[in-house]
Amino acid sequence: MTQHIDLDLRIDQEHAALERAEQDALRIIERLKAIPGTEGILKRKRGYGEIPNPWRGEPNITAQASITRADRTLAAWLAAQAGKTIAAPNYEQEREIERWNESARRMESKVAEMQAASAARRAANEQRRSRGWVNREGQWVI
């Protein structure tokens, strides 16, 4: 009788562990869905409780880079699950990239201002051409 109880207890424990693994996998999948570039690994067929991992099996470099850029802690955890590591962050390179991005944002803003000013000048010129205006000598020109 105790053998059956022990077996039932082990079955229940293993089932609970599988359920926890599947719940963890679903939570990680939700985090991965929020990261652009991970679509390829999310489409792969997976077993119950199995987490899509671009570091395991055939590596998916695009997904690895996307995850590392967006969620470094998740990337480190997934890599560790596959027995791999990710490179330490290069903070100087990241600062340089951020400076370039900031410069690009400033240029985009300046271009938008210049386009708006140009559009306003074109509209004013068109209005002058269609309705006439007063020249420097005070004469009405049509």
Q: Are residues 45 and 100 in the same domain?
A: no
Secondary-structure percent of the chain, ordered helix, strand, coil, rounded to 5: 70, 5, 30
Mean pLDDT of the chain: 86
Residue 137 domain flag: no
Of how many residues is the chain composed? 142
Q: What is the pLDDT of residue 121?
A: 92
Question: Does some domain include residue 43?
Answer: yes
Please determine, for residue 134, whether its predicted confidence score (pLDDT) is greater than 80: no
Q: Are residues 103 and 38 in the same domain?
A: no
> Are 87 and 65 spatial neighbours (Cβ–Cβ below 8 Å)?
no
pLDDT at position 2 over 70 = no
CA distance 37 to 35: 6
Overall average pLDDT of the 92-98 stretch: 85
Domain that holds residue 119: 91-129
Total structural domains in the chain? 2
Inside any domain, residue 135: no
Output the pLDDT for position 115. Answer: 96
Residues 33 and 73 in one domain: yes
Do 55 and 106 belong to one domain?
no
Residue 141: which pLDDT band, with cuts at 50, 70 and 90? Answer: low
- pLDDT (average), residues 71-84: 89
Q: Using 50, 70 and 90 to split pLDDT, how confident is the model at 85?
A: confident
Torsion (CA) 56, 58, 62, 68 in degrees, nearest 10: 20
Query: According to the model, what pLDDT value does residue 142 have?
Result: 60
The tokens describing 28, both together, are: 């990680």
Q: What is the structure's pLDDT at 111?
A: 97
